[in-house]
Amino acid sequence: MSFIADLHLHSRFAYACSKSLNLTNMAAWAKVKGINLLSGADFTHPAWLAELEDNLTPVADGYFQFDDMKFVLGTEVSCVFSQGSHSRRVHMLLFVPTFDVVHRIRAMLEGLGSKLSGDGRPIVGIPARELAARLFDIDESCMLVPAHIWTPWYGLLGSKSGFNSLEECFGDMAVHIPAVETGLSSDPEMNWRVSGLKGKTIVSFSDAHSLPNMGRELTVFEGNASYHDLVAGLNGNLVERTLEFFPEAGKYHFSGHRKCSVSQSADETARFGNICPECGRPLTLGVVHRVQELSSETDWSEEGFNRPYTKLVPLIELVAYSMGKGRTAKPVSSAYQRICAELGGEVKVLTQVGYDDLYQVGGEDLAETVTKVRQGSVQITAGFDGQYGVVQPE
């Protein structure tokens, strides 16, 4: 048994997130995508929590049911604190077993002065180590997973966080952090070069701020879609595979300045220094640069902890490409919906459905396009400084 999980999601109550992010739409899109387990998201927000409690039905073996979709209780918080005379901003994913635990966490955060009725991704003003300790004190089956660890501003290992390892951030609590979310701009292979991540389960989720972006990265866990099996999967690396963006497609793969149209590979930054040739200010250092800084000679992927992964281009982009139209064009979205409905969801279409079925349902151009991406026959322009990269079939 295995299940496909997207556990970094937001509701319409998180800043910069679509107003359409409600439970009904999220469950419907999860079916379009072919996802089995979702995070209920943003559980610290009072209005959203009320919706979760009204709609999610707890099921005995540790998950919640809504509209034939399974949910666990998970959220993201933004830890903002100072440590070693640096200010730190690190995003963390929390997973908890029950609404009772949610209420105790909310009380703890309110006691610390967190404002929970604003952003669905609240600011928590205590060091990450202390958050972890308080969380495990409330319930030892709570899970804490650093989010999108490489992104410059809010990633634990990102260029602005100032942390070079989980130990620096979590101290003695680091051993209780089972996993890291790698974010769009890195893939597992890049992470395997960083010895500080050895032994940590590598997971990928979408961090979607709108419905169509759900499932753009996913983790396939072993077991049944439940909180127990999620905990076991994170603790024991029971991951069958992760489904990934091409890391170049993420917003922070290379270093650069978006406003100055300057994009640099890590080698170029090493050669020219970390200064923008246009404006003279320091560049936003991307994920490749940080991975290179923190990587060691030893590649621990040889040691049995690595899991296979598949690089995907979102199906809507491939449909748009094969039709020669933009991804927001009406005929593109109706073709996308029809193809997903007829062929068992986006994940299956991208990873499993054979050429003949793709041809019959989506036409020759789509069958060719999907096959090219599967073979890695793509043209790539890397993203940098907040600008998405472009990956297109060759």
Residues at the site binding Zn ion, with contacts judged by CB under 5 A: 91, 147, 257, 260, 276, 278-279
CB of 136 to Zn ion, least distance (A): 22
- Taking the least distance from each CB to Zn ion, the nearer of 236 and 282 is 282
Q: Nearest 5°: phi and psi at 255?
A: -90, 160
- Taking the least distance from each CB to Zn ion, the nearer of 242 and 263 is 263
Name residue 201's beta-bridge partners: 179
Token pair, residue 126, equals 């205590």
CB of 149 to Zn ion, least distance (A): 10
CB of 89 to Zn ion, least distance (A): 10
- Taking the least distance from each CB to Zn ion, the nearer of 40 and 362 is 40
- Taking the least distance from each CB to Zn ion, the nearer of 272 and 355 is 272
Q: b vs e for 163-191, b when ≥16 Cβ sit within 10 Å of the residue's Cβ?
A: beebebbbbebbebbbbbbbbbbbbbebb
CB of 114 to Zn ion, least distance (A): 16
Contact 35, 25 (CB under 8 A): no
CB of 200 to Zn ion, least distance (A): 18
Token pair, residue 65, equals 């049911």
- Taking the least distance from each CB to Zn ion, the nearer of 26 and 147 is 147
CA–CA separation, 138 and 332 (whole Å): 48
CB of 385 to Zn ion, least distance (A): 9
Query: Which region holds residue 180: left if phi is over 0, alpha if psi is between -120 and 50, else beta?
Result: beta
- Taking the least distance from each CB to Zn ion, the nearer of 151 and 226 is 151
Spatial neighbors of 43 by CB under 8 A, at least 6 apart, are: 49, 52, 73, 74, 75, 96, 102
